[in-house]
Amino acid sequence: MFKKLKSIQKEFLGLNERNVKYIYPSNKRKDYKLADDKVLAKQIMEEHNIACAKTYAVIENIGEIPAVWNDMNQYRSLAVKPANGSGGGGILILSKSEDGTWMKGKESFTNEQIHLYLANIIMGVYSLGSNDRVLIEECIIPHSFFQSIYDDGVPDFRVIVYKHQIALGMLRVPTDASDGKANLHQGGLGIGVDLSTGQMTDAFDGNSYYDVHPDTLKQIKGIQLPYWDEIIELSLKTAEVFPLKYLGVDIVIDQNKGPLIMEVNVRPGLGIQMVNRKGLSPILKAIDNTIKQAS
């Protein structure tokens, strides 16, 4: 019993240790906002020519909403995000139907409803009550590879980068239960990835592991991810331009543009350990050791 507890302790990274040993020493508090605020993060990525979704507009004041939204009519589809939302909260994907009304999936939105939605973001509904900005950007068309696994929502790839080395990675795919969202705690499916080959390992839904997507039954285990080398390169390059040494990088693969950075995260979750059936503690220690030996 005691031995088992000891081995859990040795293998897995808990919230306390993640914060005290990795996040606080690696990331300066004043730099958190560069990652937390999607608008700031995109500015940095755009400055350094890092591939990411095109920004259509940023709205800061409620008064600007009608004019800016009117301007958005030129696009066929777009993504609305609170700059400081967390865990995918407040993200609205809209596309225009044949007759020109905005739709979220099969649900239609009037301009008035959208104005209210944007105003709520600015009033801070998704950012714990403090004022926020709205980021409107290009809507990603998921790569056809993903459509073959699950044909809804936007799957993304999350890596944890520590001191410019990739520690763990996983693919997040929506499920019937997750309403198009790929986040693990919203019902998304996490898929482990073998970092050396880019092949998918097990899929994890929070309770059990699968070889196939539990809703579509499409094979997952052993399948090679497309753009694998580019994904690794893009993650490392992104970690390079942010002054953060422990971060989560979220990447989507667009049908036309290939891998794009979606966002970066200063407090990447710990569920990735379950998805990969692998604890972060030994991996992070190994990274520290190689750096120590190198210097």
Partner 1 sequence: MKIQFGVHSLIATLIIGSITAIALKMKFGFFNQDQSEREVHYSVQYDFELLANSDKEQTVKAFIPVSDSRQTIKPIQFSKAKISQHNQTNQRATWDVDTATGKQNINYEFDVTGRSQRYTIDPEIKLSAVENSYSEFTQETEFIESNDSEILELMTKLKNEQAQVLPIITSFFEYVQGIPAEEIKELMTAKEALVRNAASCNGKSRLFVALCRSSNIPARVVGGLILNPDRKKTSHLWAEVQINNVWIPFDALNNYFAFIPSNYLTIYKGDEYLVTHSSDMAFDYFYTIAENGTNQSFLESFNMWHISKQTGLSERLLLIMLLLPIGALIVAIFRNVIGLKTFGVFLPVLIAISFMTTGVTLGIISFLLMVGLISLLHIPLAKWGILHVPKLVVMLIAMIFAMIVILYLGVELNVETVGTLTFFPVVIMTITAEKYARYVVEEGFKTASRVMTQTLFVTLFSYFILASPSVHIYLMNYPELLLLFAAISILLGKWIGLRISEYRRFGWMIS
Q: Compute the distance between CA of residue 39 and CA of residue 81 in angstroms, rounded to an integer.
A: 10
Closer by beta carbon to partner 1, 164 or else 277: 277
Both tokens of 56, joined, read: 């259509």
Site size toward partner 1 (CB under 8 A) is 28
Of 116, 212, 286, 291, the one binding partner 1 by CB under 8 A: 116
Question: DSSP 3-state assignment of 254?
Answer: strand
What single-letter amino acid sits at 249? V
Of 26, 55, 95, 120, the one binding partner 1 by CB under 8 A: 120
Q: Establish if 124 lies at the interface with partner 1 (CB under 8 A).
A: yes
Q: Give the number of C-alpha atoms closer than 13 A to the C-alpha of residue 100, restricted to the C-beta side.
A: 5
What single-letter amino acid sits at 74? Q
Residue 99 C-beta: closest distance to partner 1, Å = 23
Interacting positions 186-245 with partner 1 (CB under 8 A)? 186
Per-residue DSSP letter, 127: T
Of 267, 274, 287, 288, the one binding partner 1 by CB under 8 A: 274
Q: Establish if 93 lies at the interface with partner 1 (CB under 8 A).
A: no
Q: Establish if 123 lies at the interface with partner 1 (CB under 8 A).
A: yes
274 exposed, middle or buried (CB, 10 Å; 0-12, 13-18, 19+)? middle
Provide the strand spans (E) within 1-155.
55-59, 77-82, 92-96, 102-104, 107-109, 134-138
Per-residue DSSP letter, 291: H
Q: Establish if 86 lies at the interface with partner 1 (CB under 8 A).
A: no
Residue 271 C-beta: closest distance to partner 1, Å = 9
Q: Establish if 91 lies at the interface with partner 1 (CB under 8 A).
A: no
Q: Establish if 51 lies at the interface with partner 1 (CB under 8 A).
A: no
Residue 244 C-beta: closest distance to partner 1, Å = 20
Q: Are 249 and 143 in contact (CB under 8 A)?
A: no
Residue 149 C-beta: closest distance to partner 1, Å = 24
Closer by beta carbon to partner 1, 8 or else 286: 8
Q: Establish if 8 lies at the interface with partner 1 (CB under 8 A).
A: yes
Of 35, 183, 279, 283, the one binding partner 1 by CB under 8 A: 279
Helix pair angle (228-241, 38-47), 10° resolution: 100
Q: Are 160 and 166 in contact (CB under 8 A)?
A: yes
Strand order in the sheet with 156-162: 209-210, 199-204, 189-194, 165-173, 156-162, 246-254, 258-265
Residue 234 C-beta: closest distance to partner 1, Å = 30
Binding segment toward partner 1, per CB under 8 A, in 50-58, 144-152, 233-241, 271-279: 271-279
Give the C-alpha distances (Å, rounded to integers) separating 184 from 49, 78, 275.
30, 24, 10
Q: Are 203 and 193 in contact (CB under 8 A)?
A: no
Closer by beta carbon to partner 1, 24 or else 151: 24
Of 15, 67, 212, 286, the one binding partner 1 by CB under 8 A: 15
Of 93, 103, 119, 241, the one binding partner 1 by CB under 8 A: 119
129 exposed, middle or buried (CB, 10 Å; 0-12, 13-18, 19+)? exposed
- Which run of H or E residues covers position 273? helix 272-276
Q: Establish if 130 lies at the interface with partner 1 (CB under 8 A).
A: no
Residues at the interface with partner 1 (CB under 8 A) = 4-5, 7-9, 11-12, 14-17, 20-21, 89, 113, 116, 119-120, 123-125, 129, 185-186, 273-274, 277, 279
